[in-house]
Amino acid sequence: MVLSQSGAALEDALNRRLVPFLRRRGWAPRTVSFTGYGSPDSLRVLGRVLLARPGETSTSADVSASSRELDEAEEAQRGWRSFMTAQVAHLPVVVRAGEREFHTRTDRGGYIDLLVPGHGLPPGWHDITIEAKAAEPVSARVLVVAADVRFGLVSDIDDTVMVTYLPRPFIAAWNTFVRHSNARKPVPGMAALYRDVLADHPGAPIFYLSTGAWNVVPTLTKFMRRHDFPLGPMLMTDWGPTNTGWFRSGQEHKRTALRRLVIEFPDIQWLLVGDDGQHDPLIYGELAREHPDHVAAIAIRELTAAEQVLAHGTPNAPEEPATSRQAQREHAVTVVSGPDGEALADALRGALPSA
């Protein structure tokens, strides 16, 4: 605990010195917005404020389909720069949603995570505005889920949506430094599976839940657009030290995010999609055991032997956790597996609730 607290204090101290240094050289606050989401009652607005070089403007991480493609040199340069950041902590921020205005401040990491009640937006996709002090206003996409929606989809990303064929510890660096979308391969059939499932459940949201850093959201969004994955909010994490550890726990991040979705959308049953290379079966099984009425089914993509080696060092998948077996045996939660999206679609046929 003492060492981890020292790590957080060291990060804060370095940032306090770095920010004035860069400001004197003309750097200014820049807002990066992330895709938010909510219900008719409340809206979760997400973003981050960083210092940017002179001339750089605020941006949305939800890359527009009509935005211009960056050339390879610029992509690579933006890749390594995405992690060379100086966050602006405790900065006043104004969020404008519809006709209403809400005030908040960035946290110690420069993040904006604001719960907006009574936003007045109807169900569907909307653009709101985030304006941090001394930064240009930036548009943010938000998804309002209708009150009568009863089904949703949560998907892991690495080895579930895309494969990089690198050891798991290096995937984050790959996603950061190798910015070209064609350097990653989509898992066959997964995009079609997600499109078909959502087409069968009009209005159903899809969330992408990952242990990856927020910095790579623009890259991942571009990848998903290119390979026709349905777009939805991404629930990422930050790697920096906290008061409880040098690095945030990826498993706890996923557990916390899933339980938050259960609370925020109490009437939705979720299809949980992941892979068997790490902890998805365990985490999904725990949620199904604790909240069986909120889990429609669990679908696990089976990695190849080579992918298993890259994921955790052995060619065999970890043993199926007892929680997953209990969810299926004791709570009648369907658990299926297959090597790709087509196999999972076949296994899920007839297992999901009707629209």
- Whether 81 contacts 70, CB under 8 Å: no
Query: For 211-226, what is each residue's pLDDT tens digit?
Result: 888 888 888 898 999 9
- What single-letter DSSP state applies at residue 214? G
Percent of the chain with pLDDT over 70: 70
Cα 195 off chain centre by: 18
Is residue 99's pLDDT more than 90?
A: no
Is residue 131's pLDDT more than 70?
A: yes
**Who's near 212: CB < 8 A, 6+ residues apart?**
157, 158, 171, 172, 175, 220, 236, 237
Residue 5: name the closest of 239, 212, 240 by CA.
240
Query: For 269-279, what is each residue's pLDDT tens digit?
Result: 999 999 988 78
Is residue 46's pLDDT more than 90?
A: yes
Domain ranges across the chain:
2-144, 151-348
Q: In CATH, what number does 2-144 get?
A: 2.60.40.10
Lowest mean pLDDT, pick from 1-5, 45-49, 162-166: 1-5
Query: For 52-80, what is each residue's pLDDT tens digit?
Result: 877 666 566 664 433 434 444 344 444 44
Hey, which residues does 139 pair with through a beta bridge? 129
Of 57 and 306, the one with more pLDDT: 306
What's the pTM?
0.85
Q: How far apart are CA 290 and CA 307, in angstroms?
A: 30
Is residue 329's pLDDT more than 70?
A: no
- Whether 34 contacts 61, CB under 8 Å: yes
Is residue 42's pLDDT more than 80?
A: yes
Output the six-digit token pair for 160: 């579930």
Q: Share the mean pLDDT of the chain.
A: 82
At which residue do the structure tokens 């653009």 appear?
127
Query: For 187-245, what is each residue's pLDDT tens digit?
Result: 999 999 999 999 999 999 999 999 888 888 888 898 999 999 999 999 998 765 444 44
Q: In CATH, what number does 151-348 get?
A: 3.40.50.1000
Q: How far apart are CA 156 and CA 165, in angstroms?
A: 16
Provide the pLDDT for residue 79: 45
Please give the backbone phi and psi of residue 104, each rounded to the nearest 5 degrees, phi first.
Answer: -155, -175
Provide the pLDDT for residue 27: 82
E strands present in 183-333: 185-186, 206-213, 234-237, 269-275, 295-301
**Who's near 242: CB < 8 A, 6+ residues apart?**
4, 8, 248
